[in-house]
C-alpha cells in the first residue's frame, strides 16, 4: 500500500497528463453522486433539527437551534456522513470496476500496448475523488442547512433571512476551514484505498466482490481515523 501511495505522488507530477479521463471521472464521481448527497443532506438537516428542538426547548434555548445545528453539521456531521456515503457509492464502484478490469485482463492489455495503466486508471480516479468530495460536502452542507430551515418552520415562523443570518453569525473560519480541508484527505483515502483494492485484486470474480467490499470497509474506517487526527490537530491549533 505504501508503494502504491508513493507511486501516486510520482506519477501525478509526471507527464503525460490524462486530463480528459480526469474530467470524465470527475463527472462520474462528482456529478453523479450529487443527487444522493443532496437527498441525504436535506434529510440530515431536517432530522437533526427536529431531534434537537425538544432538548433546547427544555432549557428555553430554541432560538439557539440554527446556531447549534449549523455548527454540528458544518464541523462534523456533514463531512463525516457525506464522506461515508461517498465511500459506499464511489469506493465500492471503483473497487469493483478495477477488479473487473484486472480479471478480464484489461489492465494487462493497457500495459502491453505501451500505456501506463496506473496513470490512466488510478491517478485520474484518486484526483477526482480528492477534488470532488470537498465540493460535494460544501453543497451537501448548504442543502442540510436548508433542510434545517424547513424543520425550524414546522413549529415556528423564522424567515429565511433571519435563519441564515443566525447560521452565519454562529460559524467562523475555524469551523469551516478545517472541516473542508479534512474532506480532501477523506477523498484521497477513499480513492486510493479503492483503487489499491481493485488494482491488486486476485482470485477472479470472487476477488471483484472482495475488492468492492473491502474498499468500502477500509475507506469508511480511514474516514474515522483521519477525522480523529484532524480533530486533534484542529483543537491544538485553535485552542
Partner 1 sequence: MKMETTVAEITHLRKSFGNNHVLNDINFKIEKGENLVVLGKSGSGKSVLIKCLVGLLELDGGDVILFGENISGLKERELNLLRKKVGFLFQSAALYDSMSVRENLEFPLRDLKSKPKEEIDALVMEALKNVGLENAIDKMPSELSGGMRKRIGLARTLILKPEIILYDEPTTGLDPITSQEISQLILDVQKKYNTASIIITHDTECARITANQMIIIKEGLVVAKGTFKEISESKDEWISSFFNKWKE
**Locate cell 461515508: which residue?**
84
- Distant-in-sequence, close-in-space partners of 162: CB < 8 Å, separation ≥ 6: none
104 scored as a contact of partner 1 (CB under 8 A)? yes
For the record, the C-alpha cell of 154 comes out as 414546522
200 scored as a contact of partner 1 (CB under 8 A)? no
Burial class (CB within 10 angstroms; exposed 0-12, middle 13-18, buried 19+) of 141: buried
- Choosing from 29, 74, 83, 101, the residue that interacts with partner 1 (CB under 8 A) is 101
The nearest distance, CB 95 to partner 1, in angstroms, is 15
CA distances from 122 to 108, 177, 205 (A): 14, 28, 20
- Side-chain half-sphere exposure of 40, counting CA atoms within 13 A: 22
Q: How many helices, marked H, and strands, marked E, lie in the chain? A: 12, 0
100 scored as a contact of partner 1 (CB under 8 A)? yes
What are the φ/ψ torsions at residue 172 (nearest 5 degrees)? -125, -175
The nearest distance, CB 126 to partner 1, in angstroms, is 18
**Nearer of residues 104 and 174 to partner 1, judged by Cβ:** 104
DSSP 158: -
Which of the stretches 50-58, 105-113, 179-187, 221-229 binds partner 1 when contact is defined by CB under 8 A?
Answer: 105-113
Which of the stretches 39-47, 76-84, 101-109, 205-213 binds partner 1 when contact is defined by CB under 8 A?
Answer: 101-109
Which of the stretches 104-112, 138-146, 155-163, 167-175 binds partner 1 when contact is defined by CB under 8 A?
Answer: 104-112
172 scored as a contact of partner 1 (CB under 8 A)? no
Q: Of 54, 72, 101, whose CA–CA distance to 170 is shortest?
A: 72
For the record, the C-alpha cell of 222 comes out as 480511514
Which of the stretches 43-51, 78-86, 98-106, 210-218 binds partner 1 when contact is defined by CB under 8 A?
Answer: 98-106
The site map against partner 1 for 110-139 (x = CB under 8 A) is: xxxxxxx-----------------------
Q: How many residues bind partner 1 (CB under 8 A)?
A: 14
- Distant-in-sequence, close-in-space partners of 27: CB < 8 Å, separation ≥ 6: none
Judged by the rule CB under 8 A, the positions of this chain that interact with partner 1 are 100-101, 104-106, 108-116
Amino acid at each position: 500500500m505504501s508503494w502504491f501511495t508513493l507511486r501516486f505522488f510520482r506519477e501525478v507530477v509526471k507527464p503525460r497528463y490524462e486530463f480528459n479521463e480526469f474530467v470524465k471521472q470527475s463527472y462520474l464521481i462528482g456529478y453523479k453522486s450529487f443527487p444522493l448527497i443532496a437527498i441525504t443532506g436535506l434529510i440530515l438537516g431536517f432530522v437533526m433539527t427536529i431531534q434537537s428542538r425538544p432538548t433546547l426547548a427544555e432549557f428555553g434555548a430554541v432560538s439557539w437551534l440554527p446556531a447549534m445545528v449549523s455548527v454540528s453539521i458544518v464541523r462534523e456531521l456533514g463531512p463525516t456522513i457525506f464522506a461515508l456515503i461517498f465511500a459506499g457509492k464511489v469506493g465500492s464502484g471503483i473497487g469493483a470496476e478495477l477488479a473487473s478490469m484486472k480479471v478480464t485482463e484489461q489492465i494487462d492489455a493497457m500495459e502491453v500496448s505501451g500505456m501506463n495503466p496506473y496513470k490512466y486508471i488510478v491517478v485520474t480516479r484518486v484526483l477526482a475523488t480528492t477534488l470532488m468530495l470537498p465540493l460535494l460536502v460544501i453543497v451537501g452542507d448548504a442543502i442540510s442547512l436548508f433542510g434545517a430551515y424547513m424543520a425550524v418552520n414546522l413549529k415556528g415562523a423564522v424567515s429565511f433571512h433571519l435563519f441564515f443570518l443566525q447560521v452565519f453569525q454562529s460559524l467562523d473560519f475555524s469551523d469551516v476551514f478545517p472541516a473542508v480541508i479534512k474532506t480532501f484527505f477523506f477523498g484521497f483515502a477513499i480513492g486510493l484505498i479503492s483503487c489499491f483494492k481493485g488494482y491488486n485484486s486476485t482470485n477472479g470474480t470472487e476477488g471483484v466482490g472482495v475488492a468492492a467490499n473491502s474498499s468500502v470497509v477500509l475507506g469508511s474506517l480511514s474516514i474515522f481515523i483521519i477525522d480523529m487526527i484532524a480533530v486533534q490537530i484542529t483543537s491544538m491549533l485553535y485552542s
